[in-house]
Chain A
Amino acid sequence: MKIISVNNLSFSYDGEHPAIKDVSFDVEEGSYVAIIGHNGSGKSTLAKILMGLLNGYEGEVKLFDTVLSNQSITALRKRIGIVFQNPDNQFVGSTVADDIAFGLENHEVPHEEMEGIIHQYASEVGMIDFLDHEPESLSGGQKQRVAIAGVLAMKPDLVIFDEATAMLDPKGKREIADIILKMKQENPKLTILSITHDVEEANRADEVLVLNDGQLFLSGKPSEVFAHGKELREIQLDSPFLAMLIEALKKQGIDVPQGINDVEKLEEYLCR
């Protein structure tokens, strides 16, 4: 099933400068899709359109085979969760438990069930000991974990991360990446759309979309996309270490076949 289907989407904030230009792509159920692109390339705008936060776009957006509209958005939002970049600006409740409960309250989950759900997802993200902590006493990474717990508690079918780890230190980044991985393992049907500047993370995704000035520049499997190292560098994007290594090997005359997607496999291949 197609979870997201975007056709010829265009959008402009001011009517003059387009932020999204004629973008089309599909996302299959259960896939992990990364979106990369330089600052201002329209990634967040795309996420906001998918969440129904922006109106007046051209083209068609379908989520779960339902056309996105003002009528359908309320029902669709029950199935989509989003984690934004700034951990402070999405912490609504006054304590960790209240924040996880916020989405549940909105979706009229009965009071009796809340405690159990909150405990379950707080422990899933490792925040069970912090339930009555206030946001000031938490680190950025902990706040992001709470945001993820709040999203997961809604049992979404699609989770969008808009640079959710951009403000975190390497340790925080790794912790969030591990949680995402665990989420995926526990629920293979969960679809993840991750907007990121971290090419190593994009390299782990099933599919990568590259946005440049509002247009879809490249898309495909990470190994395919990052094989275009030169084009990516032209739009100020790095390639992951592996792709750079393969490119360097090619320059040296060593050809590496397609489908090698991690360093171990490359090592194995080279040693043979």
Chain B
Amino acid sequence: MKFSLGRYVPYDSLIHRIDPRAKLLAILFLMICIFFPYQSWAMTFAVDGAIFLLLVVLLYMTRTKIVDILRSLKSLWFMIIFLLLIYCLIPTTEPTFPLAFEVAAWNWRVYWDSFLQAAKILLRLMMMIELTMVLTSSTKPLDLTFALEWYMTPLKVIHFPAHEIAMIISIAIRFIPTLLEDTSRIMKSQESRGVSFSHGRISKRVVSLTSLIIPLFVSAFMRSDELANAMECRGYDPRGNRTRYRLLKAKWYDWVFLLFCAAVFGVLLWFSIDPRFNALLLFPAEVH
């Protein structure tokens, strides 16, 4: 079994080489600025378009495959319907664009604004997913864990278990393939006993699911018990001092990337809150 979303794609790109700490923070900056509100439609489209271009560049640099991108967006169709429904039901008070259609009997008017609003949110969600993809496809899960641990380390003074949490996450990541293998093995053996996971009534399928979940849990617990023993025997003490095999070292281009993303964040924040940009970019219809 393979996932496409969030899977690390081994490739030696510049983005891949950026320190995970810098990358995590930088991508976080970009993610936040995707959702900045702007006072005019023209501004919104201009900025969202610019971010979109930046994203295309990032995706190209990490060599993310088009099929993977499409696959990661597959689940969004539900959001499309949901958003359209919501925005069509909410009445537009100050329409910028002309009326799309109306049902006079129910006093229901839908302006093009509603569709644009839905499209905007959708585009932003898409960009958010793709940004996550840039991060996860260019960073090994373990490196991400290291980055998280590094950011959480200051919290140790308030006895926040930063190292333990990082260890738990990295072991969970390490065991995903093992547990997936267990799952398919148990499914096969239960299917050979006549259990069906894909046919029959829902109620029946739920029952057959328990015949998968219970053995899976038992196996997972047995594994974790043995793993805990093995770790203890190898001298692991979560509270003890440890040295590190992998040390993170920030290089100049980590700073360049981080500063660039921080600058994008700063500029867009300024665009978003400074009223002067209201008047700078306006559609004719928006001039009141």
Q: Which residues of A contact B (CB under 8 A)?
A: 48, 51, 53, 74, 77-78, 80-82, 84, 86, 88-94, 97-98, 101-111, 114, 118, 135-136, 150-151, 154
Given contacts A51-B232, A51-B233, A94-B141, 10 further A-B contacts (CB under 8 A): A78-B235, A86-B226, A92-B231, A97-B245, A104-B243, A104-B245, A106-B237, A106-B242, A114-B243, A118-B245
A selection of 27 A-B contacts at a CB cut-off of 8 Å is A48-B229, A53-B229, A74-B235, A78-B235, A82-B230, A84-B226, A89-B230, A90-B227, A90-B230, A92-B171, A94-B170, A94-B173, A97-B245, A98-B246, A101-B246, A102-B234, A104-B243, A106-B235, A106-B237, A106-B242, A107-B235, A108-B242, A108-B243, A111-B243, A111-B244, A114-B243, A154-B235
State A114–B1 Cα separation when bound (angstroms).
Answer: 35
Q: Would you call B270 an interface residue if the criterion is a C-beta within 8 Å of the partner chain's C-beta atoms? A: no
State A135–B140 Cα separation when bound (angstroms).
Answer: 14
Contact A53 B233 (CB under 8 A): yes
CB distance from A12 to the nearest CB of B (A): 19
Contact B229 A98 (CB under 8 A): no
Contact A150 B173 (CB under 8 A): no
CB distance from B257 to the nearest CB of A (A): 24
Query: What per-residue 1/0 map shows which CB atoms of B146-184 lie under 8 Å from chain A?
Result: 000000000000000000000000110110011000000
CB distance from A167 to the nearest CB of B (A): 12
Q: Would you call B223 an interface residue if the criterion is a C-beta within 8 Å of the partner chain's C-beta atoms? A: yes
State A98–B226 Cα separation when bound (angstroms).
Answer: 19
CB distance from B247 to the nearest CB of A (A): 6
The one of B227, B241, B242, B247 in contact with A92, judged by C-beta atoms closer than 8 angstroms, is B227
What is the size, in residues, of chain B's interface with A at 8 Å between Cβ atoms? 30
Task: Name the residue in A80, A107, A150 with the highest tally of chain B Cβ atoms < 10 Å from its Cβ.
Answer: A107
The one of A86, A114, A136, A150 in contact with B234, judged by C-beta atoms closer than 8 angstroms, is A150
Q: Which residues of B contact A (CB under 8 A)?
A: 140-142, 170-171, 173-174, 177-178, 222-223, 226-227, 229-237, 240-247
Contact B142 A94 (CB under 8 A): yes
State A108–B242 Cα separation when bound (angstroms).
Answer: 5
Known: A94-B142, A94-B174, A103-B235. A114 touches B245 (CB 8 A): yes
Chain A residues contacting B171 (CB-CB under 8 Å) are 92
Task: Name the residue in B232, B233, B237 with the highest tally of chain A Cβ atoms < 10 Å from its Cβ.
Answer: B233
Chain A residues contacting B173 (CB-CB under 8 Å) are 94
Contact B242 A103 (CB under 8 A): no
Chain B residues contacting A105 (CB-CB under 8 Å) are 242-245
Contact A88 B178 (CB under 8 A): yes
